[in-house]
Chains A and B, each alone.
Chain A
């Protein structure tokens, strides 16, 4: 599905990613881990076209996302839930969903079906449709950000620390959505810092350090105490 090869990217003269390789397969949750400043969010932004790739390839199907402007990346079937949610705070929940749906199918019936399909995953949002997004709780905002990302009917879903700062019940709700998406056959790429949030969820873990690949772990690896210890060592916990 997603196949990143030798990706280098950064901000102006400051390189952040230096030849990173990463794969995310359909029907799997791939977790990208690393310490603060390792380049996780920059990698997500590079996939979305917000940070220009200086070298390497970001393959999705037959396309190279590294060559596309940002607004064309979602049209390839990539949904992105950024860190900090970034909702349209002044619009209501319903309007946020409408804007998300509006970028997709052109006919009204398909739009209505997509809207219903997305909202089915988040019954809590259905009770808040006329509320302004900026006044939702943190967990509800995260649900809305995730719902909006699903409006592009993604085959690859990127989530950047989606459970940061949320209460346990909300974390569980977001986890369930990720699992449901994986079971539907989407490739899920998740950036996460907390090991306890990853164990039992990840099909594979890829660690980056200082903008370079450090080590990859499979689900089976993580069940082995020695591997789990090494993963903790990479993260300094």
Chain B
């Protein structure tokens, strides 16, 4: 990419980060809460995008990584009274470790088999959460204690700190993602997605690189899950269910798989689509469904993907 174009790309991403920061001070309370949630969940989508969008690993079980972060952090607070930062680190580490173990086994398969295997692993994690109900509070979930929702004496359950922590996490994940796609490692991931056999024939151990991508993806997804639990105060098994794996896929597809901004745009779009449709009718899923079908027909590469195809070929 030419220097000038890259400068414009960096300016665009930093501009989004700056706008999101400024919105903290001008948005009404309701929208501030929605946007904080969108930013944290967009981090989950960014993690998913590294596996699916950039490496071509179509996982149907990413909720297990989100759940590992959520429970890893939440349980540290519930049982050990750990404060927010160490609890978040434990949650993120749990997701990375789970991704390493699952990846070492699931990456022996590819394509549809990989989808099925990841789905099964995620179901196993979900059922494990229910089975150990004495520790995890099973289906009911639990409220994260206040001691774990403070960071350097700041109460994270309050509106502004919650938004700012979500913003910091989102900004870090977005800029990391932007850096990754330009780094040699990121280029090789795209090469694997495009043609794995060819990448192997250039001398790359594609198995190890895919495992690396999955661990990064799992760690970022878990970082999102851990932050979600700590910021919004509730940990429940439904977040580790198959629906949350589908959500990540949906958000990334809508925004644009293999684009840096796509996960955020897709997550934001879905949240506000359902929000607006709910205000119009009880049958809001019908409206959401029609819009999604239309988008799939007319923008099959997702919103940012279409922008890239039509207007800005060098947009990463």
Contact = CB atoms under 8 A, between A and B. Distances in A.
B198 interface: yes
A88 B200 CA distance: 12
Contacts of B199: 88, 99
Contact of A95 (B187, B202, B205, B313): B187
A86 B200 CA distance: 12
A104 B194 contact: no
B206 A99 contact: no
A152 interface: yes
Given A74-B202, A88-B198, A151-B202, 9 more contacts: A50-B201, A73-B203, A75-B203, A95-B187, A98-B187, A99-B188, A103-B202, A103-B203, A148-B202
Interface string A130-142: 1010000000000
Interface of B: 1-2, 184, 187-188, 190-191, 194-195, 197-206, 258, 313-314
Contacts of A104: 203
A74 B194 contact: no
Interface in A142-175: 148, 151-152
Top 8 closest A-B pairs, CB basis? A74-B203, A103-B203, A88-B194, A103-B202, A71-B200, A99-B191, A102-B184, A70-B200
Interface of B is mostly: helix
Interface string A85-105: 011111110010011101110
Nearest to A100: B202
A114 interface: no
Contacts of A148: 202
A82 interface: yes
A74 B188 contact: no
A71 B206 contact: yes
Nearest to A75: B203
Of the four ranges (under 10, 10 to 19, 20 to 34, 35 or more), the interface on chain A belongs to 20 to 34
A217 interface: no
A124 to B, nearest CB: 19
Contact of A103 (B195, B204, B314): B204
A73 B201 contact: yes
Nearest to A129: B2
A73 to B, nearest CB: 7
Contacts of A98: 184, 187
Contacts of B202: 74, 99-100, 103, 148, 151-152
Contacts of B194: 87-91
A82 B313 CA distance: 28
Given A86-B195, A88-B194, A90-B194, A102 B1 contact: no
Given A71-B206, A74-B202, A130-B1, A50 B191 contact: no
A132 B308 CA distance: 13
B190 A92 contact: no
Contacts of B1: 92, 130
